[in-house]
Amino acid sequence: MQRTKAIAAIARSGLVICLALFATAWRDVPAYAAEPVKIGFSMSLTGGLAPNGKQLLQALEIWRSDVNVRGGFLGRPVELTYYDDQSSPSSVPAIYTKLLTVDKVDLVLGPYGTNLIAAAMPVLIQANKVAIGLFGVNVNHQFNYPRYFSMISGGAGGSASFSRGWFELAGASKPKPKTLAIVAPDAEFGRVTCDGARANGKAAGFEVVYDKSYPPSTIEFASILRAIQATNPDLIYVCAYPPDTVGFIRAADEIDLKVKMFGGAMVGLFATPIKMQLGPLLNGIVFNENFVPSPKLLELPGLRELLARYQAAAPALKIDPIGYDFIPFGYAAGQVLAQAVERTKSLDDDKLANDMHANEFHTVLGEISFRTDGEWTQPRQFTTQFQNVTGHDVDQFRDTTRQVILWPDEYKDGEPILPYSSIKH
């Protein structure tokens, strides 16, 4: 019955990719007599967040297959029940209500993204469910929910941790910049992420000469950048989801943006197809990253093998060909849940939450543990710069030769080239 429901939901959304993923959902699964353990979530499979949501779905499909080969949860097969939230926070509460009351899922994951996780939280809190948010920036600061856990590597610094490296690099450049512009969509992600940038900018002694938000429905960005450029900032920090990322970068080229440092939390640049689309327009952008293909990271146990499996399947599924930024995090979210179930021998949310606060988890991203607020105990963020990007081919994004790691020093493999205006073409 559940498989029939899933197929019907996919057909209604018209998503060819979901059909392709579902076709592989039961491979290599041993015969089980018990009812499946149902894990429910919403995922952005259409709309502006779809390039990233599709990757996370495939990561969870790979994890589900692996878990079932090893015996499932408590001797029961694991089944994923999911619906397309269309990248819209307004769709999320109804989806999670349906998952819990109609589908009666045992456990939940997701959704993806700060705006959507925040929309799901009231439903999950009322149901007392363990919630593992995928790429939510400081979501729990407004809820203080003890069963929330974050699958993003920000750590104890809250929203400020994501831009720390960016502002350290800006402050160390010579001559030191003096003025800063901040721009973000008027939505949870933009507000929270740029709150951190604002705090870091103030701590670094920069004068904020522009600090405004724009409606999430905005599709024209040149006028915004012209208004920013009129304030003559040395630094421009942008918080932007995928469509906005493309809009800002194209607008910067259109108006011949003059600035020392440009970039920030442009999460569209997590997606390889967007990098390929923009090509040389990326040059000079200083960008905050959650994952980089540094040899130090790629040698983490199981990570290369996971990425190889994903990359082998990606062309047929017509999704991101590399998957660096999302596949490890999606798979690790499943690993965290599986290890908590294995240790507690239970699906009880209270027992799982207690275990997740008390123990470390061995994942493809290395050892992970959680603070009382659900954030990572040890943050791991990176600041990179696109340099010498030529053309639009995919291979130049497979290592760090064109997206150079500038921060932290432990992973650094290049030097910043400033100002942005000097190398953007």
Q: What is the pLDDT of residue 259?
A: 96
Predicted local confidence at residue 419, as pLDDT: 96
Residues 146 and 163 in one domain: no
Q: Check whether residue 179 and residue 38 sit in a common domain.
A: no
Residue 263 shares a structural domain with residue 408: yes
In a domain, 303, yes or no: yes
- Asked if the structure places residue 382 within a domain, the reply is no
CATH of the domain at 89: 3.40.50.2300
Same domain, 173 and 203: yes
Q: Which residue has the tokens 């060819």?
A: 16
Residue 74 and residue 202 in one domain? no
pLDDT value of position 138 = 87
Let me know whether 117 and 231 are in one domain: no
Answer whether residue 379 is part of any domain: no
Q: Are residues 57 and 178 in the same domain?
A: no
CA dist., res. 269 & res. 199, Å (int):
23
Radius of gyration of the chain (CA): 21
Distance (Å, whole) CA 222 – CA 250: 8
Within a domain: 373: no
Which pLDDT score is estimated for 32? 55
Q: Indicate if 139 and 175 belong to the same structural domain.
A: no
Residue 378 included in any domain: no
Residues 70, 28 contacting (CB under 8 angstroms): no
138 with 182, same domain?
no
Asked, for residue 375, whether it belongs to a domain, the answer is no
pTM over 0.75: yes
417 in a domain, yes or no? yes
Same domain, 17 and 87: yes
Averaged over successive runs of 10 residues, the pLDDT of the chain (425 residues) comes to 43 43 45 83 95 96 98 97 97 98 97 95 98 93 95 83 95 96 92 92 97 95 97 97 94 96 95 95 96 93 97 96 96 98 98 98 97 93 96 96 96 96 73
| Domain final residue pick, 322, 340, 368 | 368
Q: Which domain does 410 fall in, by range?
A: 159-289+387-423
Whether 128 and 169 map to the same domain: the answer is no
Tell me, yes or no, whether 262 and 393 share the same domain.
Answer: yes
Peptide bond into 89 cis (omega under 30): no
pLDDT computed for residue 425 by the predictor: 56
Q: What is the dihedral of CA 244, 250, 252, 253, to 10 degrees?
A: 170
Q: Whose CA is closest to 49, among 123, 110, 116, 133?
A: 116
Looking at the 3D structure of the chain, how many domains does it have? 2
The answer to whether residue 418 sits within a structural domain is yes
Question: What residues pair up with 383 in beta bridges, in sequence order?
Answer: 288, 407
